[in-house]
Amino acid sequence: MRIILLGPPGSGKGTQAQLLVQRYGILQLSTGEMLRAAVAAGTPVGLKAKEIMAGGGLVPDDVVVGIISDRIDQPDARNGFILDGFPRTVPQAEALDELLKQKHLKLDAVIELRVNESALLNRVETRVAQMRERGEEVRVDDTPEVLTKRLASYRSQTEPLIHYYSERRKLSTIDGMMAIDEVTRAIHRQLLALGAVEPKTHSRSAAKTAPAKKARAAKKSAKKPAKAAKKAVKSAKAAKKAAKKAVKGSKPATKTATKTATKKTAKKAAKTTARKAVKKGAKKTAKKVTKKRAKR
């Protein structure tokens, strides 16, 4: 992934570049640091830059592009990089495009952090006033006057890059006045939309939340037996209650059945007694008749 961050001084490019480096494991390439490293290493391009700087001159674009070329060829730049401080002009952007073309690389995104210049100046004025009230030393390059000059330089030299990259459909504009974390999320969403990053390989937040998700799943699984046991107890209670209700409901039926059975038994006994009485009465009558006949 190869990215360029654009924005005026105070827009938060440096902060966002560091966050992108941490999140995606890519390099932040600062032209100033690369120049110093090339000079210290004594590379051919570094020696040329050293000679120019020693004479008080500005390092030409072709030398800077040469230093960038050497740096992105190193193994630690394979995953990608963020260019910090380059390109600053349209000719530099054209030179960078040619370099990447020669190396068969592509520029994935140009992120513009758009800010309100008046708000930036107000912030600096407030910060400087507070520092002076506390008796703190104010940096000479951190004053409203210096910022005004730097903003003017940005508008004249670097702002044309917005049109340059917009024509090539590389530009994405983010509201730099949002909170830092909101800007970071907006950049990430834009990189996803452009296909510069993949969610499964570059989402550290997902990696952080994975253990938490596993813990929640384990906790949920652990709750299942307890939940089942609770349900079983509830079912048993319901069954017991139903049984009691059934027994209670059967009492009247049992009482009625007993009463009915008693009536049947009494009726049967009465019939038996009646038969016996009839039979006994018949016997007595028969004896009386026999006695009378015997007397005659």
Query: Is 91 one of the annotated binding-site residues?
Result: no
Q: How many whole angstroms from its chain centre is CA 176?
A: 22
Query: Is 233 one of the annotated binding-site residues?
Result: no
Which of 139, 204, 234, 275 is labelled catalytic?
139
Query: Is 87 one of the annotated binding-site residues?
Result: yes
Which of 23, 123, 127, 185 is labelled catalytic?
127
Query: Is 56 one of the annotated binding-site residues?
Result: no
Which of 114, 123, 150, 185 is labelled catalytic?
150
Alpha-carbon distances of 219 from 92, 205, 213, rounded to whole Å: 57, 21, 10
**In the annotation, is 127 catalytic?**
yes
User: 4 near 110, Cβ under 8 Å?
Assistant: yes
Closest CA to 86 of 65, 113, 117: 65
Query: Is 131 one of the annotated binding-site residues?
Result: no
> What are the respective helix, strand and coil percentages of the chain, to the nearest 5?
70, 10, 20
Query: Is 166 one of the annotated binding-site residues?
Result: no
Query: Is 42 one of the annotated binding-site residues?
Result: no
**In the annotation, is 169 catalytic?**
no
User: Which uninterrupted H or E stretch holds 237?
Assistant: helix 204-295
3-class SS at 124?
Answer: helix
Only one residue has tokens 């024509």, namely 167
Query: Is 139 one of the annotated binding-site residues?
Result: yes
Which of 88, 114, 123, 185 is labelled catalytic?
88
**In the annotation, is 13 catalytic?**
yes
Query: Is 28 one of the annotated binding-site residues?
Result: no
Closest CA to 204 of 19, 13, 15: 19
* 195 φψ region: left (φ > 0), alpha (ψ -120 to 50), beta (else): left
Query: Is 31 one of the annotated binding-site residues?
Result: yes
Which of 13, 48, 71, 170 is labelled catalytic?
13
Query: Is 66 one of the annotated binding-site residues?
Result: no
Binding-site members are 10-15, 31, 36, 57-59, 85-88, 92, 134, 139, 150, 178
Binding-site members for ATP are 10-15, 134, 178
Catalytic residues: 13, 88, 127, 139, 150
Binding-site members for AMP are 31, 36, 57-59, 85-88, 92, 139, 150
